[in-house]
Amino acid sequence: MEAGDDDTASERNCILYAISVTYVLCFIFSCVFKNSQIQANLQKMLKRITHCSKLCGLPLRFRFRFLNIERSYWKLKSDECETAIEELKKQNDSVAAALAKLDRQVKLKEGQIVQLRSRQREIHEKCELEQLKLPTVNDPMDTGSSSQELVLDYSQLSEIYLKEVQLSDRDKLEAEFKQKIGILMAEIERTAPNLKALDQYEALQTKEKEVSEKFEAARKEEREVADKYNSVKQRRYELFMEAFDHISKGIDKIYKQLTKSHTHPLGGTAYLNLENEDEPFLHGIKYTAMPPTKRFRDMEQLSGGEKTVAALALLFAIHSFRPSPFFILDEVDAALDNLNVAKVAGFIRSKSCERAGEEQDGDGGCGFQSIVISLKDSFYDKAEALVGVYRDSERSCSRTLTFDLTKYKEA
């Protein structure tokens, strides 16, 4: 009994093994062969093998193998479908691009057709005006419709041309033109010449010559004026730079004299800068003054007394270039403290002289006389003479008092 069961089991296993091998071969053939009929037959065989395996009681592991093989088959089919879809999309895109290109070409050709039809209509209208016959099938001029297309019968063109343009007609046309030319030549010979034309021509020539001479004279005058202007401009620049260089060199010396003291023997620093050295008249001049122990600041940030000292230094530097006979200073010491008042008074005293126009000294500046209006005794005690002004109440007028300080020795 046991031997019979073993034989039966062995036979069943052989059958199952044959079914498995057949199933795998069918799957491989279905993947390899792309023919639809072959694939359909293989699909039927796979279904039969699956049915037989179920009837034969195929073990679970073989059934799993069949399922895995079948899943791989359908996955392969899915990949093939996706690949086919991608190829179809690419073909669709290429077809769409080709259609767009053809659409553009069609629109371009339609525009050219419209232009050619417009040109054809213009030629037809021109022929109508010149009474030239064209072999037209229909005539839009007769119908009054501007939209009707002009149709020409080109088969009749050569026939009409041969009929209308014969050799005899050419000779006749040439004779007519020669006759017209002869008539016109005879008319020209009979026409009386315009005797005033020569006089008018000579008058125009004379006038043209006069205008040319005036133009040349005006251009020459313009060049001379331009040369004079450039010469004056250059001279102005030279004079300005001469004055600027002199003032720029002297202002620092004068400012040092006005600001130096026992505690600061070197004094301050002052200098001028041109904002535009090529065209100084188009821009300004930067004046910088730095009092002793002070760092660089703009002129607007200086105190009132510091601004006054800087202004006096600039005034005396300008005076040193073109000296004047005397100065009139009206309360220039109003914003100065006693120390700076004494410095300014001492500087003016040192630069004063008995007669105006004395030679320039070595410190910059020139000897000059000065009339100073001041209310501070520390200023006018350095003067050589004092002039006092008071009001006379009895006579309702002003009176003056003078006092010569040169008769007295300084304390």
pLDDT at 2: 44
All structural domains of the chain: 2-99 (no CATH), 323-411 (3.40.50.300)
What are the residues whose beta carbons fall under 8 Å from the beta carbon of 157, sequence distance 6 or more?
A: 135
DSSP three-state, residue 386: strand
Contact, 290 vs 255, CB < 8 A? no
More confident residue, 22 or 174: 174
pLDDT band at 248 (very low <50, low <70, confident <90, very high): very high
For the segment 214-224, the average pLDDT, to the nearest whole number, is: 94
pLDDT in tens, 150-162: 666 666 655 555 5
Separation CA 295–CA 289 (nearest Å): 10
pLDDT at 98: 87
For the segment 200-215, the average pLDDT, to the nearest whole number, is: 91
More confident residue, 399 or 52: 399
More confident residue, 11 or 281: 281
Separation CA 237–CA 102 (nearest Å): 75
Paired with 366 in beta bridges are 360
- For residues 260, 262, 266, 272, the Cα torsion angle rounded to the nearest 10 degrees is -10
What are the residues whose beta carbons fall under 8 Å from the beta carbon of 283, sequence distance 6 or more?
A: 274, 275, 276
3-state secondary structure 243-309: HHHHHHHHHHHHHHHHHCCCCCCCCCEEEEEECCCCCHHHCCEEEEEECCCCCCCCHHHCCHHHHHH
